[in-house]
Amino acid sequence: MFKEIDINLKQKPSSYYQREIRKKLPKEIFKNNPQRLLWLFFHLLLIILWSSIIIYTQNILIRLLCSILIGNSLGTLGFLGHEILHGTVIRGKKAMLFWGGVCMLHWGLPPQVWIAWHNKQHHHHTNKWFDDPDCFGPVGMYKKSRWVQFMEKLTPGSGTKRSYGFLFYWFSLHTVYNIMKNPKAFKLEKNRKYGLMYFIGVFIVWLCVSSLLTNQGWIFLLLIPLTISNFVMMSYVATNHFISPSTDNVVDPLINTLTVRSNKFVEKMHLQNNFHIEHHLFPDINPSQAEKIRNVLKERWPERYQEMQHMEALRLVYKTPRFYSKYTELENPRTGKKSETLLSHYLDI
């Protein structure tokens, strides 16, 4: 589960790596990539095509396949919205919020909430207990919170049957949490109700339209596509940091982040979202350029750089608990099962 290296690794801030390799990177990769916006229209056309087939056929297998394909397009648009809201596709705050909002509309996720939750909190406090909204935190939280006790049985690695549905709904559930509970999701607390109205409004409209378009439309045009879009997004989110060490005072992307690899077609289809170390080091560089960063990182820090096949990473996510007993150890607070994180034998934390 960890690399065979024989040195003690100390944490380094992102700025250390950035200074070391920035001069080795071609200048053009720091430019915006507005052509990526074409993916939005491509996937909208696909969604219209698959939806039309669902409307005009009653063959359940064809409908199911088209629903899954719609879900894949929606999940991929989530990756594109992520790029747009990091400012790597187009410039201008209003344009970014509009197009990013369109890409994440199917989750009922206001773009301002995503920026607060992801760009500011997650990137600035990656895998840090209590400060990163995407980190499950220490085992001590389990004893103090009934919500955490309930949630633990849903998480991959808990060993429960219900945990196998996690990837299919968690992003939507986490969106609701951030809209309703995240204290930093809105600059003004009074705006939280508008975020909740936005979320509810999206699903009311989606439910009504899908039900009117065809029989069982709410299943084939809403429920299945939504669950698949969750799966597409969460299959990457779950591998990004869940099996990596937690870091406290220093945000070290080569320690607390994992890049996953698939075949080239899948990586391109999902807009190179798999290059996550690269993204955390340079969130202002479009993911289409991430492999160039990877090559420099692997050459410069082969002992630190963490890369794994996507399916193997998902297997480890389901094999290990989600709560930290220490920075390099994961523990199930209900069963007492413990597992090492990646790099656990070599970290000086």
pLDDT digits (tens, 9 = 90+) for 234-249: 999 999 999 999 987 8
Alpha carbon distance 110, 175 (integer Å): 9
**Which amino acid, 203?**
F
Instruction: Please report the pLDDT score of residue 7 as a whole number.
Output: 42
pLDDT at 8: 59
- Work out the average pLDDT over 176-180: 96
Q: Does residue 11 or residue 313 have the better pLDDT? A: 313
* Distance of alpha carbon 266 from alpha carbon 260, whole angstroms: 11
- What is the reported pLDDT for 249? 80
Instruction: Give the integer Cα–Cα distance in Å for 224 and 174.
Output: 18
pTM of the model: 0.94
What's the pLDDT score for residue 248?
79
Structure tokens at 13: 């801030």
279-283 average pLDDT score: 98
Note the pLDDT tens digit of each residue in 210-222.
999 999 999 999 9
Give the mean pLDDT of the chain.
95
Q: Which amino acid is at 133?
A: P
Q: Between residues 7 and 39, which one has the greater pLDDT?
A: 39
Q: Residue 6: which pLDDT band, with cuts at 50, 70 and 90?
A: very low
What is the per-residue pLDDT for 176?
97
Query: How far is Cα 294 from Cα 229, in angstroms, rounded to an integer?
Result: 27
Q: Stretch 143-152: mean pLDDT, rounded?
A: 91
pLDDT class of 10 with cuts at 50, 70, 90: confident
For residue 234, what pLDDT is reported? 99
Torsion of CA 112, 116, 119, 123, to 10 degrees: -170
152: enclosing H helix or E strand? helix 146-152
Beta strand pairing call for 329-331 and 307-309: unpaired
In this predicted structure, what is the pLDDT of residue 349?
53
pLDDT at 162 over 90: yes
% residues pLDDT > 70 (the chain) = 97
Residues of the chain with pLDDT > 90, as a percent, come to 91
What mean pLDDT comes out for the span 105-126? 97
The helix/strand/coil state of 113 is helix
Query: Mean pLDDT throughout 156-173?
Result: 97
pLDDT at 2 over 70: no
DSSP H or E stretch at residue 172: helix 166-180
Tokens of 272: 């190179």
Q: Which residues pair with 330 in a beta bridge?
A: 324, 339
Q: Is the pLDDT of residue 1 over 90?
A: no
The pLDDT of residue 143 is above 90: no
Question: Angle 235-226-75 (CA atoms, 0-180°, nearest 5)?
Answer: 45
Tokens read off for 245: 């060490």
Tokens for 229, please give them: 């879009």
Instruction: For residue 107, give every residue at least 6 positions away whose Cβ sits within 8 Å of its Cβ, in sequence order, or none.
Output: 78, 171, 172, 175, 226, 229
Of 69-73, 239-243, 340-344, which gets the smallest average pLDDT?
A: 340-344
Whole-Å CA distances, 3 to 70, 200, 247: 38, 46, 18
Task: Say which DSSP state 92 is in.
Answer: -
Q: Cα(232)–Cα(238) distance, rounded to whole angstroms?
A: 11
pLDDT score recorded for residue 3: 42
Q: How many CB atoms are located within 10 Å of the residue 212 CB?
A: 9
Burial of 189 (0-12, 13-18, 19+ CB in 10 A): exposed
Q: How far apart are CA 84 and CA 246, in angstroms?
A: 28
| pLDDT at 190 exceeding the cut of 70 | yes
Cα-to-chain-centroid distance, residue 113: 15
DSSP E strands, 181-266: 259-261
Q: How far apart are the first and last CA of the chain?
A: 18
Task: Note the helical H segments in 8-126.
Answer: 14-21, 38-56, 60-85, 93-103, 111-114, 123-124
Higher pLDDT, 19 or 147: 19
Q: What's the confidence (pLDDT) of residue 9? A: 75
| Token representation of residue 334 | 């209900």
Please write the tens of the pLDDT for every residue from 296-329.
999 999 999 999 999 999 999 999 999 999 999 9
